[in-house]
Amino acid sequence: MNKQVICIVCPKGCKVTVSKQDGVYTTTGNACIRGNVYGIQEATEPKRVLTTTVKINGASIPRCPVVSSAPILKDDLFKVISLLEAVELTAPVHINQVICANVLGSGIDMIAAKTMEKKHDL
């Protein structure tokens, strides 16, 4: 099995080839060990930082941007997005406030990416 990935750990963007032989993963094309770790992770259990929005009441706009505290398994991204559809916040919300803790038992939190003040009617 061979899989090609572009390492995104630094701007150099090495083209990394991940190979598996007898259950052992190896990489070529990476200029440093970080590309080895990234390439094997990407080939076996790809993860992504999730950025999305959730509903918020009482703020000047109806959606609050949120971000995962760490990369989430790519296979779980839509499950987390579904879970967040049921979340309804009330302003004020502060940046880095935990919006949804330990999503899917992953140990990863969804946190507010922006402070959303309470809207004051004039």
Beta partners for residue 53, in sequence order: 65
Region of 26-34, 54-62, 67-75, 97-105 interacting with ligand SF4 (CB under 6 A): 26-34
**Contact at 8 Å (CB) between 35 and 16?**
yes
- Please tell me whether residue 98 binds ligand SF4 under the rule CB under 6 A: no
Contacts of 63 (CB under 8 A, 6+ apart): 53, 54, 55, 56
Burial of residue 41, with CB atoms counted within 10 A of its CB: 0-12 exposed, 13-18 middle, 19 or more buried: middle
One character per residue 29-48, x = contact with ligand SF4 (rule: CB under 6 A):
-xxx-xx-------------
Q: Minimum CB separation from ligand SF4 for residue 8, in Å? A: 7
Total of residues contacting ligand SF4 (CB under 6 A): 11
Binding site for ligand SF4 (CB under 6 A): 7, 9-10, 12-14, 30-32, 34-35
